[in-house]
Structure 1
Amino acid sequence: MIDGLLDVRGVRHSALVGLDGKVVARAGLREADLPAELTLVAAGRAVIGSLQSNLNADGWQELLLDVDGGPVLLTPHGNQVLLTAFDDVSSLGRVRFAVRRLLGTV
């Protein structure tokens, strides 16, 4: 399913993470890099939960984290989160479009 994201210029890797923190699917992501990426997802979920609580918001669309290794886009998909790591923030529009097309929200 998510392998197609690797065809998008600038995308380094992607992972679909379940509510329990387990990887459901991954593309271009080495086993050794999983712990760091799962930590990002967990931290992102904590930030989103806090913001939702403080703002009385029901849902969220996406969260962009610009970390040392490059930007990471977290996108909700049901009770899962799609993590997409890419090369530069200037690629954000292209990556967002590809993610939305993949998830069927375009």
Structure 2
Amino acid sequence: MIESLMDVRGVRHTALVGPDGKIVAKAGLTETDLPAELTLVAAGRAVIGSLQSNLNTPDWQELLLDVDGGPVLLTPHGNQVLLTAFDDVANLGRVRFAVRRLLGTV
């Protein structure tokens, strides 16, 4: 399923992370990258939880993090989070469209 995101120009790797913090599916992600990316997802979930609580809103659409290794898009999918790392913020529109198409929200 998520392997199709690797066909999008600029996508470096992607992973679907379950609510327990474990990888459900991945593509292009090396074992070396794994700990850092899981830390990003955990931190992103904490930020989102705090914002949801403070803004009194139950839903979120996505979170873009621009980190040293390049931009990372976190997108909810049920109780899982899809992480998509890509090479340049200029590719954000293309990546967002591909993620939404994959998750069936387009």
Aligned residues: 106
Structure 2 match to 1:48: 48
The C-alpha deviation readout for 1:4-44, integer Å capped at 9, x for no partner, is 00000000000000000000000000012100000000000
Gaps spanning 5+ residues in structure 1: where?
Answer: none
Structure 1 match to 2:104: 104
Deviation of 1:100 (Å): 0.1
In 1, the alpha carbon distance for the partners of 2:90 and 2:54 equals 30
In 1, the alpha carbon distance for the partners of 2:3 and 2:35 equals 20
Q: Does 1:94 align with 2:103?
A: no
Amino acid paired to 1:30 = T
In 1, the alpha carbon distance for the partners of 2:73 and 2:46 equals 15
The correspondence of residues 1-106 of structure 1 with structure 2, limited to 5 A, is 1-106=1-106
Amino acid paired to 1:101 = R
- Aligned-residue Cα RMSD (Å) equals 0.3
In 1, the alpha carbon distance for the partners of 2:17 and 2:51 equals 20
TM-score by length of 2: 0.99
Deviation of 1:85 (Å): 0.1
In 2, the alpha carbon distance for the partners of 1:57 and 1:90 equals 29
TM-score by length of 1: 0.99
In 2, the alpha carbon distance for the partners of 1:32 and 1:22 equals 15
Gaps spanning 5+ residues in structure 2: where?
Answer: none
Aligned residue for 2:59, secondary structure, equals coil
